[in-house]
Amino acid sequence: MNKDIQTPPSSTLGMLGGGQLGGFFAEAALKMGYKVAVWDPSENAPAKRFATHKFNAPFDDAEILDKFVSVVDAVSLEWENVPVELVEAIQLKKPTRPGSRSLGLAQNRTIEKQFLKDNGFPLAQYQVIYSAKDLSGLDQELPWIVKTATMGYDGHGQWRISSTSEKDEVNSPIAGEGPWVVEQVVPFDMELSVVVARGIDGTSITYPATENIHENGILRMSVCPARIDPSIELSARHLAEEVINAIGEPGVFCVELFLVHPSKILVNEIAPRPHNSGHHTIDSFSISQYEHQVRTLCGLSIAQPRRIGNTVLLNVLGEEASVLSSIETTNLILKTGRARIYMYGKESVRPGRKMGHIIFSGENIGVLEKEALEALAIISRR
């Protein structure tokens, strides 16, 4: 579809995927005067709370595809496992940003790694294997992380191997369909993420690097700005922008990075969508990552957002959401005036599932972090 097409307010924007990211996109779009059509197999997907049109079918439903395309003026996505074939079909008819190129890269680790390598971006040493038996022949130094090439998220589809005997133990979990990426464990000091917005004219902006703290492979807390040297922060942003420029599609992206002591930065992965670590941009920047997703989709101006404050984000995971159904607990967290609670309206609870988040905003990151840790103790009953 014509790369230059612009989509004015009052048009209908299509969203593939109906999670919290799609929900925040929809809110931003509604505020700007757009309508939003959300397609997600789940009838109660969070983003459907804000949808003007709801499509509940699986992503391979050809009839719904025709209906969706007839309703929308432009399409974006919020989940990297939307089938590439679907995006290829839609982008023939309506502007789709990002498009199938970024999606194809992001949903297959082997293709993503090859792309990064071919373009000379720094990344952890890795090899691709096609059968569990290949593990025994690997000459890479231990420890490793074995990752499924597709459909991995939040630490699912990953196995850490620290000793030769563990090579045999993971044989059975990875006995399914390959390929797998076997990656060296990076002794990083910090995990960082950088959100990049790229307009239809090829100009781009980056948000400041965010520092991410994971628990069992799941994002637990994010601190923005990251507590790193300003020159390293600039390098991280520059690297992320270069990665997205190399893909060359408009949209909002996030590049996840490892910072290795003292100043080496490696690319971990690319998300072709706004990122959970970037929710804070709603509260602490003049333009949120979601508003930028609307702008890049519609061919509107993108602009360097102004920072309003510092933030610590705390994710509410799994059963922790039920603690927040009490007024007393909620008030305990809200009383400082620095906290805002966002719940996504997810009906089914799974361990580790992102159910909501709490943003602490202000100036002193030490104070914000302390309050976030206190809130964590409350919701996790630690």
What is the binding site for ligand AMP (CB under 6 A)? 124, 145, 147, 152, 155, 183, 185-186, 191, 214, 217, 256, 268-269
- Choose between 241 and 256: whose C-beta lies nearer to ligand AMP: 256
- Choose between 136 and 162: whose C-beta lies nearer to ligand AMP: 162
Query: Distances from the Cα of 158 to the Cαs of 76, 148, 154, 216, in angstroms?
Result: 28, 7, 9, 11
* Inter-residue contact 324 to 343 (CB < 8 Å): yes
CB of 258 to ligand AMP, least distance (A): 7
Would you give the distance in Å from CA 227 to the centre of its chain?
21
Closest CA relative to residue 74, chosen from 126, 13, 8: 13
Residue 115 φ/ψ, nearest 5 degrees: -60, -45
- Choose between 88 and 154: whose C-beta lies nearer to ligand AMP: 154
- Choose between 183 and 249: whose C-beta lies nearer to ligand AMP: 183
- H or E segment to which residue 206 belongs: strand 204-206
- Choose between 185 and 373: whose C-beta lies nearer to ligand AMP: 185
Sheet (strand 180-184) strand order: 126-129, 180-184, 144-148, 158-161
d(CA 154, CA 323): 22
